[in-house]
Chains A and B, each alone.
Chain A
Amino acid sequence: MADFSAEVYQNEFLPDGGTDVHAVVTVTCTGAGAAGQVGEGDAAEIVIVDTSGSMGDVNIRMAQQAAAAAIDQIIDGTWFAVIAGTHEARMAFPAGRAELGMVQMDSTSREAAKRAVSSFRADGGTAMGTWLTMAARVFATVPSLAQKHAILLTDGENQHETPEQLTAAIRAAQGQFQCDCRGVGSAWQVAEVRRIAQALMGTVDIIPTGAQMAATFETLMRQSMGRGVASASLRVWTPQGAQVLFVRQVSPTVEELTPRRQVVNALTGAFPTGSWGDESRDYHVAIRLAAKGIGQEQLAARVQLAVGEKVVAQGLVKAMWSNDDTLTTRINPEVAHYTGQTELADAIQEGLAAKAMGDDATATAKLGRAVQLAAETGNDEATAKLKKVVDIDDPNAGTVRLRRSVDKLDEMALDTASTKTTRVKK
């Protein structure tokens, strides 16, 4: 059985009249076990591979190997299916049935699925919404599923669908399954694929060349199989009259959770977190309270992790009003660090968007700020990626110049990695 713990990092002291309480809550899971093995219900995996014409002979062969590598990682007993995506979605495995369905992994189905993916041909367009819609329908054919996860691979823009069609498909799939998304090469749109990944509680990343596809798929599937806790939600209780300013995952990536709030009761909201393996995630919560008198203490939030209806970990966020400046002016390092990292993600994304639109002044300012924040918060990976897009004159002042020739892949790598955060150095 998985064990969860919660630790709270905050400065609970507020000055006279102070109202806003910030805290970082670290939730850690240990002993998660393997997906589908701990009796909460079955696990299921769908591999969605872009087989549009742009994949070409070389990449389609790499995609065949990648799909096979993913299939090899799926634990026996796990329900699975493979979808080939073009301007429409096609069941690659199990195929040739009158109705959609999934099969359970065993040596026979593993070999049959690998044979099926070896017949992928590159042909047709791209309509990712139809892929998501089919995946949701396929998952729905197995009622015993508690954990549903997909890997989506694409290499291009969503040309054969309007953005509205994609939005509608994402909305319909939301809450049905989790989806890690990967784009191969440089012809796909980071913002478009990130939209899918964020809505479906998955990750987004770039695979620069086709040769790296198999390793990526293998890793993604192994990670997914290591998530023995099918689903959990972060619950935030706040006192009557309090306002939740935001709830945000800040590690391992920045994910805005505030709009995902589901009502548990009048004072408690739940934010779905998807499945858990052995890992730690950090959450930044900000609560606005009515100010109380000096010397008063109250709870600002109970931050809990709930598996089903069961609360398995709780952290208490407190507020104490004090007239001691040495206490109230103290800045909590975790809160400061993640506030900087969140701003860093925004600065990178806004800077790259401005650059794409030819607004060099804004791009220079935003990316300069990003360089500064990456240096301040010790995010060396972001600094390394930023260096490929801008020339840095002074990292502390954030003085940069846009590089004239930038490899598109480097720019996309910076974009996809923008939400990845580093932890506070202790």
Chain B
Amino acid sequence: MTTCPVCHVGAEESEEYCEACGAELSPAVAATEPPPTREATGTPPIDTDLAGTASTCPACGGEVAGDGYCGTCGARAPKHRDHFSEQPAAWVAAVCDRGLRHTRNEDAVALAAGAEPGSHAVLVVCDGVSNSIDSDLASLAAARAARDVLASSHSRGLGTGLSLIAATVSRLGAAADAASEAVLGVTRNAKALHASDVAAADVSRAPSPASCTFVAAVLEQDLLVVGSVGDSRAYWLPDVGAATALTLDDSFAQVQITAGLPRREAESGPQSHAITRWLGADAPDHKPTTATMTLAEPGWLLVCSDGLWNYCSEAQDLADLVRQTSTTSPTAAEPLTLAEALVSWAKAQGGQDNISAALARIQPG
């Protein structure tokens, strides 16, 4: 018996790839080579890259003092965590932003992609539940853990057709496991810090343990598999033709929509943002609901948090928004530029929540 170096699930010695996540099992390779995610992903493997604050005040240009506030106008210097972007390859990019009304950014994104457009990509968005402790740390840890599982192996060795889909669905499950474990780790740390003596290991008893949503999109050539827990979403927005929402929210609003209430009404109700599934110590379960699609037309894959779709929930409306936004200037159709533009648009609509927009440009042939 051995264990997978990526998802830590047990595996037979004779196997070449992990049954759970598809990672290569060869210990020699895992030990000597740098993690395969390193150059393909947009961020280093640890969270220190988003610690700290800007040194120059964006509001007035003044110098930021050691206490994290501008020495001239007193504005709180933005933390790097408040607004960050990733672009692992020219055709894949994401922007994650605090928005206007929340005091911290509890959204997180994590990406990985092959350099060749349309080859393979992983887009993960997690949205921290705002009344839980350290959900900003939890969402980032979760998104990156899931991304690392999903990026550690791609199509090689996973077969084709149905077996590829089954393997990818399995990898999504392993990614959600890793994300969930990362969230629990944050809660354990918080408990260890706050009450080092009292049953620190019993994470299920934390008062409001760190929690977040989870959505991941895995692209292998023209095959797209998405999985989600909670109300962060993935959309397929083709340049021409009908747009598709790829995920169904685990939310009170979705329960009402399923029962026949119009979407607009359900999503504006008092309980509309209550989610029924999430990742965290008090989560009922975290098995992602998956969907599969073959992408044969040019278009945009969008993975986002409710900070964006709150202002544009219908897939077709989002497709129209992306079409309009991507044609405003010659560079507006660059993935990073477009992701920034979508975040700015959500802020212009009120920016009530944290905003994440992750995009992959699909251009077959």
Contact = CB atoms under 8 A, between A and B. Distances in A.
Interface of A: 238-242, 267, 289, 293-295, 297-300, 302, 314, 316, 320
Interface in B54-77: 60, 65, 67, 69-76
A314 B74 contact: no
Contact of A240 (B73, B99, B102): B73
B74 A293 contact: no
Contact of A242 (B69, B71, B74, B99): B74
B103 A295 contact: yes
Contacts of A238: 74
Contacts of B351: 295
Q: Interface SS of chain A: helix, strand, loop or mixed?
A: loop
Nearest to B76: A297
Given A240-B72, A300-B74, A316 B67 contact: yes
Nearest to B102: A295
Interface string B100-111: 111100000000
Contacts of A302: 65, 67, 69
B69 to A, nearest CB: 4
Contacts of B65: 302
Nearest to A293: B100
Contacts of B60: 240
B104 to A, nearest CB: 10
A299 B72 contact: no
A342 B70 CA distance: 33
Lowest 3 A-B CB distances belong to which pairs?
A: A239-B74, A299-B74, A295-B101
Nearest to B351: A295
Contact of A316 (B69, B70, B72): B69
Contacts of A298: 69-70, 73-76
Given A239-B74, A242-B74, A299 B69 contact: yes
Nearest to A266: B72
Interface string B161-172: 000000000000
A298 B76 CA distance: 5
A364 B286 CA distance: 71
Contacts of A300: 74
18 contacts: A239-B72, A239-B73, A240-B73, A240-B74, A267-B71, A267-B72, A294-B100, A295-B99, A295-B101, A295-B102, A295-B103, A297-B76, A299-B69, A299-B70, A299-B74, A299-B75, A302-B65, A316-B67
A295 B100 contact: yes
A241 B72 CA distance: 10
Contacts of A289: 74
Contacts of A293: 100
